[in-house]
């Protein structure tokens, strides 16, 4: 168990880096508290697996350092770092039985047969693998195999951190829920630092206490699920988290007051800086938009009812606005006016929040 600190981490798979896009990771700083459950969330290709492999020691970062409990481990191998990692698809040793698979990491570290036996049985019990212990591992279903991978990660009792690289990708949807709650349960049981990489917001938000959102090799926001939802620090977080995502509309700022289509918008924070941005935008989640007497004039394009709520597509001069309202509410047709909940309306300059 230990605290993990990443300092000014940058990584590139190329020998020479001329552009920002040549970097898979750019200037990443993270502090993971001991025993915390963290999720790295982001679309494919945003650098989350790269980051994970740097923490585990499978990759050496081009720049920056990795610390475990304030000890620099940047040049250590995965074995020296004593970590566990579970991969996207199940990695099992085909020719071994389930028991031998689980015992493998312990055997390689020279533990005695007695210790191995008690440890393997304990983990098998935890993962409900006891009945299949003597079966050949290759005969199991995908979720059974992934449980073995998971078991090999958990079987060592002293690992510093357990990392998951999209571990539920190949698992059937109904089993995903079961395995996910199993993971959450395990985290509470063994209380070890866990880092979970995923592109699925539901997975990230349900698993982790702290979610790290990544975009194009950078960390755009770190926070609790609620913080990410209520106050996205970057328009990408707004888009990526929530369904449907945040409405982002171009706006003009005059004397510190933003306006869309000439209609002034009051926001929760004041724009103090007279800084010049290449582009300025207003972000508002569909949950916090409502119809009113006056405000932004829009045309209503489409209403879709999901059962629990309605999603209304509208369009103003500057762009489209989605609204999420309770399904029992009456929706005006044709044209209407919209107002935004001041508390959850944010202004963004060059995609970053202005505060």
The answer to whether the peptide bond before residue 333 is cis (omega within 30 degrees of 0) is no
Exposure string (b/e) for 39-51, b if CB count within 10 Å is 16 or more? Answer: bbbbeeebbbbbb
Q: Which of 85, 201, 221, 339 binds other proteins (CB under 8 A)?
A: 85
142 binds other proteins (CB under 8 A): no
The answer to whether the peptide bond before residue 244 is cis (omega within 30 degrees of 0) is yes
CB of 207 to other proteins, least distance (A): 21
Q: Which of 5, 10, 97, 104 binds other proteins (CB under 8 A)?
A: 104
Task: Taking each helix axis as running N to C, give the angle between helix 142-154 and helix 113-126, from 0 to 180 degrees, rounded to the nearest 10.
Answer: 130
Max Cα separation, the chain?
Answer: 76
* CA–CA dist 254, 259 (Å, integer): 8
DSSP-derived pairing of the beta strands 162-165 and 84-86: parallel
Q: Which of 10, 88, 206, 290 binds other proteins (CB under 8 A)?
A: 88
State phi, psi for 241 to the nearest 5 degrees. -105, 135
108 binds other proteins (CB under 8 A): yes
Closer by beta carbon to other proteins, 85 or else 132: 85
Q: Which of 30, 39, 83, 154 binds other proteins (CB under 8 A)?
A: 83
58 binds other proteins (CB under 8 A): yes
CB of 103 to other proteins, least distance (A): 10
Identify the CA nearest to 258 among candidates 340, 168, 158: 340
CB of 77 to other proteins, least distance (A): 7
Is the Cα torsion angle 173, 175, 181, 183 positive or negative in sign?
A: negative
115 binds other proteins (CB under 8 A): no
44 binds other proteins (CB under 8 A): no
Q: Which of 1, 10, 91, 190 binds other proteins (CB under 8 A)?
A: 91
Cβ contact 310:303 at 8 Å: yes
Q: Which stretch binds other proteins (CB under 8 A): 105-113, 240-248, 272-280, 333-341?
A: 105-113
53 binds other proteins (CB under 8 A): yes
CB of 260 to other proteins, least distance (A): 48
Closer by beta carbon to other proteins, 90 or else 245: 90
Cβ contact 6:72 at 8 Å: no
Q: Which stretch binds other proteins (CB under 8 A): 82-90, 116-124, 287-295, 308-316?
A: 82-90
352 binds other proteins (CB under 8 A): no
Cβ contact 301:315 at 8 Å: yes
Q: Which two tokens stand for residue 329?
A: 């509410």
Plot region of 82 (φ>0 → left; ψ -120 to 50 → alpha; else → beta) = left
302 binds other proteins (CB under 8 A): no
Q: Which stretch binds other proteins (CB under 8 A): 75-83, 181-189, 269-277, 309-317?
A: 75-83
Identify the CA nearest to 221 among candidates 270, 283, 160, 276: 283
* CA–CA dist 282, 292 (Å, integer): 19
Cβ contact 289:340 at 8 Å: yes
Q: Which of 33, 75, 118, 138 binds other proteins (CB under 8 A)?
A: 138
Closer by beta carbon to other proteins, 193 or else 325: 193
Closer by beta carbon to other proteins, 195 or else 312: 195
109 binds other proteins (CB under 8 A): yes
Q: Which stretch binds other proteins (CB under 8 A): 26-34, 81-89, 276-284, 345-353?
A: 81-89
Closer by beta carbon to other proteins, 168 or else 260: 168
Q: Which two tokens stand for residue 177?
A: 């829920």
Q: Binding-site residue total for other proteins (CB under 8 A)?
A: 26
Q: Which residues bind other proteins (CB under 8 A)?
A: 53, 56, 58, 77-79, 83-85, 87-89, 91, 93-96, 104-105, 108-109, 136, 138-139, 149, 152
């Amino acid at each position: 168990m230990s605290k993990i600190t990443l300092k000014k981490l940058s990584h590139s798979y190329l020998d020479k880096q001329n552009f920002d896009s040549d970097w898979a990771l750019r200037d990443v700083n993270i502090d993971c508290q001991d025993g915390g459950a963290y999720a790295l969330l982001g679309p494919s290709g945003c650098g989350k697996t790269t980051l994970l492999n740097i923490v585990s020691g499978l990759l050496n970062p081009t720049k920056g350092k990795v610390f475990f409990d304030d000890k620099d481990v940047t040049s250590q191998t995965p074995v020296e770092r004593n970590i566990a990692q579970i991969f996207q698809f199940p990695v099992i040793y085909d020719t071994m039985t389930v028991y031998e698979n689980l015992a493998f990491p312990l055997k390689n570290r020279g533990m005695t047969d007695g210790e191995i036996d008690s440890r393997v049985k304990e983990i098998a019990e935890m993962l409900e693998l006891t009945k299949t212990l003597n079966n050949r591992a290759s005969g199991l279903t995908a979720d059974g195999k992934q449980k073995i991978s998971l078991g090999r990660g958990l079987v060592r009792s002293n690992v510093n951190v357990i990392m998951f690289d999209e571990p539920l990708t190949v698992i059937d949807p109904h089993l995903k829920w079961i395995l996910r709650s199993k993971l959450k349960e395990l985290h509470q049981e063994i209380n070890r630092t866990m880092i979970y990489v995923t592109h699925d917001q539901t997975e990230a938000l349900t698993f982790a206490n702290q979610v790290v959102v990544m975009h194009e090799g950078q960390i755009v926001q770190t926070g609790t699920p609620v913080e990410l939802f209520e106050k996205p620090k970057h328009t990408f977080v707004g888009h990526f988290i929530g369904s449907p995502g945040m409405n982002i509309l171009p706006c003009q700022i005059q004397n510190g007051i933003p306006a869309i289509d000439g209609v002034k918008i009051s926001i929760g924070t004041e724009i103090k800086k007279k800084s010049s941005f290449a582009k300025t935008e207003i972000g508002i989640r569909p949950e916090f938009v409502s119809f009113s007497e006056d405000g932004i004039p829009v045309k209503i394009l489409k209403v879709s009812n999901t059962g629990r709520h309605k999603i209304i597509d509208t369009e103003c001069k500057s762009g489209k606005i989605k609204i999420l309202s309770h399904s029992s509410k009456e929706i005006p047709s044709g044209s209407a006016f919209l107002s935004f909940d001041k508390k959850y309306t944010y202004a963004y300059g060059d995609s970053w929040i202005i505060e």
